[in-house]
Chains A and B, each alone.
Chain A
C-alpha cells in the first residue's frame, strides 16, 4: 500500500510569547452599533494575536481539506508551548471541524510558554512522533497483511515567528537529524512506522507592522527522504490567503468562481443582483477539459487580490434540468466554498442542498459557450460534475429497434418493468453467514427470472392475467401455508376454466395461431405451468404447489376420457373459491352427460353436444324439459289436454 504525502499532515503551531503579540491588523468594531451611537465614546478596535491568526488559518486549512476529502486525508494539530500538546489524533472521530474547535478550546489555556528557554524542537519531535503513529487505514493494512510494506509519508507545517534565515536553517537541519533518528528507532518498534518521505514547510509569520527577517525558499529536497520550503507572511493580512495557497498546492486543488448568481437583494427584495461565489475542488474537475497549452484557456483564468492561485470563472445557468436525467459526466469532485459564511456562498450551498442542480457554462475562446459542469448535492455533500464536451465517439448510434430482435413487437415490457421494480437495490446489512447483501440481490434476481418468457407469443401462461398472482408467489424464497393455498386456488381456477371451456387469450402472432384447438392450448398451458412450478420447487410450500399442479394435470388427462368435472368443482368448493358461473347459467349436469363416456361418442353426438352447449349458453332451457322425464320428452299444453279431458268427462 502506498500512501500519498497528503495522507498525513501535522501542524505545529508555535505558542511562544512572541506569538502572543498583537498581529498589528486592527478590526474596527465601532461601526457595528452605528446609527445609535451619537455622542458616545468610540469603541476601540480589536487586534488578534499572531497565535489567533495562526490557529484561524490552520482551522480554515482543515475545513477545506475535510470538506473535500472526508476520509484518508488526515490532519493533526500540535500546540508548541512550554511542552508540545497534541490537540487531536489520527482517529476518524477527531478528523472533524466541530471536534477540533472543542479540542482547541480545551488545550488553549494549558500550552502557553512562560519563559525564554522556548524552542520549537519539542513541537517538531512531537510531529515526527505523530507521523510515526499509524493511521487507522495503515493499522488496518498492517493487520491484514503483516508482511506488507506500508509506505508512510507525511507533511509537517510549522507556523512560528522565525528570527532569521539561520534559525530556519538550524530547524531544518535539526529536523533532518531527528527524522533519521526516528526512522532508526521506529524500524524495530511495534506500533511505530518508518517515515519514508516527508515535507517540512516552515511558515514564518510576523506582525503586519514589522519587517520579516527570513527569505522565502521554494520547495527543494533536503535529503533523500526530506524536502523543505520556507514561506513568510504578515500574520494579520497575509497568513490566511497564504494558507489557502498552501492547501491548493498540497492537495492539488483548483478554484472555480461561479459568476452571475442571481440573488434577491436584502434591502430591496423586489430587485435582484448578480453575485460571485468562489469554490475549491480537486483539480481533476478540469482534467479532461483544460488540456493543451495554457494559452488556450488563459481567457478563463483570473487572479484574485492577494492570492497566488488562479481561479476559473464559469457562468451560472438557470437550472432547468430534472434530476431524472443522466448527464454524460466524466468526474465528480467534492467542493467547498472559500468564504463559507458569506451570504452569496450560503445562498448557493443552501440552494444546492435543497436538491436542485446548477449547470455551469464555460465560454469558448473562439466565442460561444458550452455547459461544462454541473453542481449538485447528494446526501448533504456538494459535488461538481464535469460533463462531457466536444464530439462523442458514440454519435449517431443505431436505434435498438434496428438491431437483433428489434422487429419483435410483443415483448412483455410491462411485466419486465414490474420485475425491475421488484428487484430494486437498497443498502442492506450483511447476513449472519457472512454473505454480502449484493449476493442476496443476485439470488433474488435469479429466482425471479428462472422461468421468464420474453414475449407473449412464446407463452400461454404469460398471456393469462389470472395466473399473475401465482407467478408472483412462486418466485418467493419460501411459501407460507396461506400462500400455498393461494397457489392452489389459482391452479383450481385454471381447472374450472378448462372445464368451462373458456377460450384462452390467444395471441395472433407466433406459432400458436388461430387454427390451434382449445384442448391443445390447455395442454400446452398445463405443461408450461408444470415446468414453471417445477423450476421453482425449492421449499416444502413449493413442493405442495407442484403436487397440486401434478394432481390436477393427471386428473385433467383422465378427464379427457371421463371429464371429471364434478371432482374439479368439488375441489374448487373445498378451497373456497367462488364458482364463477353466472346465476343464469343452467346446471352443469345438463351440459355434460357424465353417464356417457366421451370415448364412446359418435361424431354426430359430439357435434350435437357442442351445439347444445353453445345453445345452452345463449338461452335459458325450457323449464318443462328440465323437469321432464325420460328422454326429456315433454308433452306440450298438458293442462289444455287435461282440461279438455275433464270437459269430455263431464
Chain B
C-alpha cells in the first residue's frame, strides 16, 4: 500500500512539476527495484545490506518531504509577498500620479498667479492716475471700476481656493480609500498567512505521518527478517538438543548397568568385611572395657595424688607466705631494735655522761651540805646552850622572886617563920644524856684525826702503784689471755644480741666489751671484786710450760699467778679507765678503814714482787725474796699461765658463791656518819626532868596557901578600891559645891543682869502674835533657871 501511495505521489508530482519530480520518480523506482533485490538477498546474505537499504528508504522519504515542504513554503511566501508587491506598485503609481497632479496644479497656480499679478498691476497702476485727477465724479467712477476689478480678482482667488479645497477633499477621500485599501490588504495578508499556516501545518502533519509510516514499515520488515532468522536458529538448536539427549540417554543406561554390577560386588565385599570387623570390634570392646577400668583407677589415683600434692603445695605456699611475712616482720623488728639500740646507746652515753657529772655535782653538794650541816649543828648547839642558860637563869630569878615573895608572905602577912624550901636544882652535867652526848662528841674528834692519815697512805700507795705499773706491762699479754678465756667461756652471761652486734668489730674490742658485760652480769664493780674473782680462778690456773709438773706446786703457782693477775688487772686499769676510776673514787669516797688500806698496800707489794718476774729487778726486791721462796723457781716467769676453759665455769661459780655475801657487807660499810651534837644527843626525858625540878620545889600545900591568900588579898584590894573611889567623889563634890556657892553669890549681887545667862533667849527675833506666850515662856525659862539653880544648890 505504501508503495502504491508513493507511486501515486510520484505520479502527482510528475503532473505538477517536471524536472525534479521525474528524477524523484526514477529514483523511487530504482529504490523499489533495489528493495525487491534486497528482499531476495535477505534470505541469502544477512541483515547488513538490508539496513543500508532501509536507511536509504527513509532518507528518500525525508528528501521528498523536505522538497515538498520547501515548495509549499515558497508558494506561500510568494502569495503573501504578492500583496506587498502590489502595494508597492500601487504606491509607485500613486506617486507618479501625485507628481503629475502636483505639477499640473503648480502650473495652474502659476498661471493664475501671473494672471492675478497682471490684474493687480493694472489695478495698482490706476492709483497713480487717481492721485493726479481731482474730479470727485471721476474719482468715484474710477473707484467703482477699481472696486469691480478688485472684486474680480478676489473672486478669481476665491475660485482658486475653492478648487484647491475640493482637491483637498478629494485627496482626503483618496486617503480614506487608501486606508480602507490598506485595511483590506492587511486583512488579506493575515488571511493568507493563516491559510499558509494551516496549509503548512497540514503538510507537516502529512509528511510526518508518511515518515512514520515508512519507519513502521521498515520496522516491520526488519522484524520479519529477524524473526525468520531466529526461527531457523531455534530449529537448529532443537535438533541439536534432541541428538544430545539421545546420546546422553544411552550413556546413562550403560553407566547404570555398570553401577549395578559394581554395587553388587561391593555389597558382598562389604558384608564380609563387616562380619570380620564386627568380631574385631567385640574383642576390642572387651579390651577397651579393661583399659577403661584401669584408666579409671589410674585416673582416680592420680587425681587423689594430685589433690594431695595440691594441698601440700597450698600448705607450703601458706607456710612460705607466713614465713616470709614473719621474716619481714622480724626484719622490721630487728631494724626497729637496731634503731632503738643506737638511740639508747646514744642516749645512755649522754645519760651516763650526764649522770657522772650529776654524781660529781651531787658529791660536791653533799660535801657542801655536810659542811653546812656541821656548821649549823654547831650553831644550833651553841644557841641551844645559850637558850638553855637563859631559861635556867630566868627560872632561877623567878624562883628567887617566888621565894622572896613567899618569904614576905610568910613573914609579913602570916607572921610565920619562913623556912627556905629544899631547893635541889639539877645541873646540866647531872643529866645522863648530856654526859653521853659529851662522850659521843669526844669520840668524834679522834675520827677526824685519822682521816688525814689515810690520805697520806693513799698517796704513798699510788706512787708505789705507778712505779709498779711500768714493770707490769710485760704481763699484759698473760692477763689478756686470762680475760679472753673468761670472755670466751662466759657467753651465757652475755646477751646473744651482743654477739651479733660485735660481729664486725676487732677481737680486742670484742673482748673488752665482753669482759665488761661479764663483769656487769656478775656485779663486779670494784678492784677488790676483781681480785676476788682472781682468787677464785687461782686454783684452776696452770703454767703452759710446767703443766706436766706436780700437782702440789700448782696451788702456789696459782696463787702467785693470781696475784700477778690481780696486780696486772690493777695495772690494766689504765686501759679500763672506768674501773680504775670507780676504784679510786671508792677509795676517796668511803674513807676506807686503815686496815683495809693496809691490805691494799700489801697487795701492792705483792704485785711489786710479781714484777720481779720481768728481767729488770724491782725496788722492792727485798720483800719479794721472802715470797719467792714459795714460788717455783723451775717455772719460768715469762711463760704465761693457762687456765683450762673447763675450769672457768667452776671458778666463776665459786666466785658467785663467795661474792654474794660479801657484797652485803660492803654495803653496810657504806653508811654515812651522823652529825651528832649536844643538843641533839640530849634526851627529852632528861630535859623534862631538868625543868620539872623547878616546878616541884614548892609543895601542894604551899600552893593552896597562896591561893587562899590571893582570894583574901583580892577581896581586900576591892574594898580599898571602893574607899579610894568614894574619896575621889567627895573631893569632887566639895569642889562643885564651892563653885556653885560662888555663882549664887554672884547672882545675888546683881540679879538684873540676866543677859549674861540668857543672851541666847533675848537675842531671838520678836514674834508679835505670841508676845504673851513669849513672856510666859520667859517666865517659864526664868522658873526653870531658878529651878536649875535650886537644883544645883
Q: Does chain A bind chain B?
A: no
On A, residues with C-beta under 8 Å from B are none
